[in-house]
Amino acid sequence: MNPAPSSEHQDFVDALRRDGFRFVAGEDMRTHLQRHGSLQDWAAFAASWNDLAPDTYLASVGRHRRRRHAVFRVDRDGAIARQPHQPHYQSLNYNALQGDIERWFEPVRDDVANGATLATVLGFCRDFFGLLAPQAPGWHIELHQFRIEARSDEEGQPTPEGVHRDGVDYVLVLLIDRHNIVSGTTTIHTADGSLLGSFTLTAPLDAALVDDARVFHGVTAVTPQDPTREAHRDVLVVTFRAAGMADAIADSDD
């Protein structure tokens, strides 16, 4: 399931082992992704963020976010398969705002889940994260399409729970689009809150690779550049958790 490190993957592996994170510029990320497949449907893939459903859990506390969610699995042979729709669950240990809640979100559309771009992104993650944990028998994958909305009277909160960990092994955050917004800086921290690094995803395919077991991350609030116009930040978040750990959590908590 896990290929031998190529030179470009080894650079990422070294960065995550050394620092716990890596920022990748969009054009560089495009090159890496295209070694794993096609981005031929990128325009339709990106446009699907216009069809996300309101996050009713956050709306209840006056915050504005739209999202869709899907679960995949990677088996020992490396095959990636979508799983039946299921809730997103985090314990209070990882999400003080909405932990210990089974949150049901609208599913990722079939055309997006079955498209070339998503297959390429998941293939990249499988091969890269597999290099970091070659002993993993497989992976439980969750992906989230997020649109954070900023308004003239209310800033958007990409991470309303604050600086946090997701409770997984590895995370990819991939920028799809940012429209009429300022800020949205990603910050990486140690467990005691010390800042390890920061960067801002500004161009399509700008990416953050994160070792979630080692570091904490957060994103600063976004505000409209022009308060008279619609403003949003679109990202794809993909989390990988070793399948054995995911099964144990499901057995004990769900």
Chain-centre distance of CA 132, in angstroms?
Answer: 18
What's the pLDDT score for residue 1?
Answer: 45
Which residue, among 36, 207, 43, 25, has the nearest Cα to 120 in the 3D structure? Answer: 36
What's the pLDDT score for residue 28?
Answer: 95
Q: How far is it, in rounded angstroms, from Cα 156 to Cα 224?
A: 9
What's the pLDDT score for residue 196?
Answer: 97
pTM over 0.85, yes/no: yes
Q: What percent of the chain has pLDDT over 90?
A: 68
Give the residue, 73 or 10, on which the prediction is more confident: 73
What's the pLDDT score for residue 9?
Answer: 78
What's the pLDDT score for residue 42?
Answer: 98
Give the residue, 205 or 64, on which the prediction is more confident: 205
Give me the mean pLDDT over the 94-104 stretch: 55
The hierarchical CATH code for the domain 7-253 is 2.60.120.620
| Residue 196 in tokens | 């390890």
The β-bridge partners of 24 are: 207
What's the pLDDT score for residue 164?
Answer: 86
Enumerate the domain spans of the chain.
7-253
The answer to whether the CB of 62 falls within 8 A of the CB of 153 is no
The answer to whether the CB of 217 falls within 8 A of the CB of 187 is yes
**C-alpha pair distances (Å), 111 with each of 78, 86, 121:** 22, 18, 15
Whole-number average pLDDT of the chain: 86
Residue 221's Cβ-side half-sphere holds a number of Cα atoms within 13 Å equal to: 14
What's the pLDDT score for residue 54?
Answer: 86
- 217-238 confidence digits (pLDDT tens): 999 999 999 999 999 999 999 9
H-assigned helices in 82-206: 110-113, 116-132
Q: Any residues with CB less than 8 A from the CB of 176 and at least 6 apart, and which?
A: 45, 46, 49, 204, 234, 235, 236
Confidence of residue 165 (pLDDT cuts 50, 70, 90): confident
